[in-house]
A and B are shown apart, each in its own frame.
Chain A
Amino acid sequence: MQTSFLPNFFSTGSVPDIALIMIIIWTVKTDFNSIWVRAIFAGLMLDLVSFYPIGINIFSFITVSFMTNSLCKRFLVLQAGRRFFIFSIIIVIGTMLNHLIVATLSDLQNFSWERVTLFNGALIYKPLYNLVIFATLYWPLGKIDKIFVYKNKITIKK
């Protein structure tokens, strides 16, 4: 979806990171220990389909998930009333961190160092688009997770 469907609607380089947003949402809803395997799997899928060296997106997703978990622990517990604001900040930081990690590692892997890859228009638009995707996915993902938890409970009872 990220490499085939969405590029039709967004300018090059600013396509929203659906996989990243899903990882952030799952981390926010549970914790790092519960989703680190999903982060590895999602990163591997994206590395394969995006023709990046295997490991770049895995490392990026694991780092963003770890960071999200640390920030959630500190801020969401203390300031439950400002959840949306804190979520937005996490999305913006996560998007930038992901962009910087992917750009830096792919540059270093190619033995080059070009700041133009790091600081481009994508850094302005991507966080905005990702915020929209976050707002769109947050509720449906929660519902899907609840359905799976409910089904698991029924299975265990049987």
Chain B
Amino acid sequence: MSNKYLSPKLIKFIAVSAVCFGLVFLNPKGIFNPVRLVFLEIAYPFQKTSYILGQGIDEFFSFLNSIGLMRTENKKLIRENDLLTAEVVSLHEMKKENESLREQFDLAPRNKFDLEPSFVIGQDSQNLGSWLIVDKGSADGIKSGMAVIVSEGILIGRVEEVYPDSARVILLTDSSSVINASDLETGAKGLLRGTYGLGMIFDMVTQSDVLSEGDTIITSGLGGEVPKGLLIGKIQEIKMSTDKLFQQAIIIPRVKYRKLDVVFVVKK
């Protein structure tokens, strides 16, 4: 009777499952890191090539798709060009104003950081895009905890794990990501948390602080790991925390993480 139920298939399945559960729950973290390191070293050239190839193909099809739209877009662009020429004049004035505001708010100028440009060579495929792999690692001076930005000084995440030639970057939308942030307009301070790859929440803002929809959220620099004044996103919606003690705001990121190809690691 028991032989009928305990077929070799079932025995194999139960044995493998038991080993897997043991590995997942009983294994101390990091014991497989040397294996992972060797594997990533081997996989690195393939990952880099296939990511760049994938981007090339994606861009090629996007280009083909856009050909039909170009004619109408061209007419539109000519009109826009005239308008923009006029706007350039006023922008010169705004530039001066911007510089003055930067000084007032003590925002970090972009050229202040020692940036390491890196190509994105991998992304989280299984859950909700919560990490990236970049092609720079400890050999290039990358360390765990360093901030990662895109060209316009927009923070996208932090370095989590470093390997000799690559590093894993946890995005701001990852559930384990917590960063000190503040409201640029009102100065309200709080914590920016990822929400399982779905977005970001500006949390733990006291009731006395003022938040408004459309406000810009920047890094506050508290904690010291992430520099002050890096742009994060804008407030989309404000609500109360479940315990009604704090204010929360849903933040729209400034960049689409799926479309990233070059990022900059802030070394200091």
Q: Is residue A136 contacting chain B, with contact meaning CB distance below 8 A?
A: no
A137 CB, min distance to chain B CBs, angstroms? 16
Q: Is the CB of A12 within 8 A of B258?
A: yes
Which one of B7-15, B67-75, B97-105 is at the interface? B7-15
A side interface size, CB within 8 A: 48
Contact with A along B37-56 (1 / 0, CB 8 A): 00110010011101101110
Contact present for B129 and A13 (CB under 8 Å): yes
B66 at the interface (CB under 8 A from A): no
Q: Which parts of A17-62 form the interface with B (CB within 8 Å)?
A: 17, 32-33, 36, 40, 45-46, 48-56, 58-59, 62
B5 at the binding interface (Cβ < 8 Å): no
Interchain CA distance A121-B123 in the complex, whole Å: 18
User: If A3-B47, A3-B125, A49-B39 touch, does A55 touch B197 (CB 8 Å cutoff)?
Assistant: no
Whether B121 pairs with A105 at a CB distance below 8 angstroms is no
Q: Is B35 part of the contact surface with A, judged by Cβ < 8 Å?
A: yes
B23 within 8 Å of A (CB atoms): yes
Interface of B is mostly: helix
Q: Which 6 pairs of residues, A with B, have the shortest CB-CB distance?
A: A12-B129, A55-B23, A8-B54, A59-B20, A15-B125, A55-B20
B contacts, CB < 8 Å to A: 8-9, 12-13, 16-17, 19-25, 27, 29, 32, 35-36, 39-40, 43, 46-48, 50-51, 53-55, 57-58, 121-129, 131, 133, 161, 168, 175-176, 195-198, 257-258
Residues of chain A having any CB pair with chain B under 8 Å: 1-9, 11-13, 15, 17, 32-33, 36, 40, 45-46, 48-56, 58-59, 62-63, 66, 69, 102-103, 105-106, 108-110, 112, 114, 116-117, 120, 122
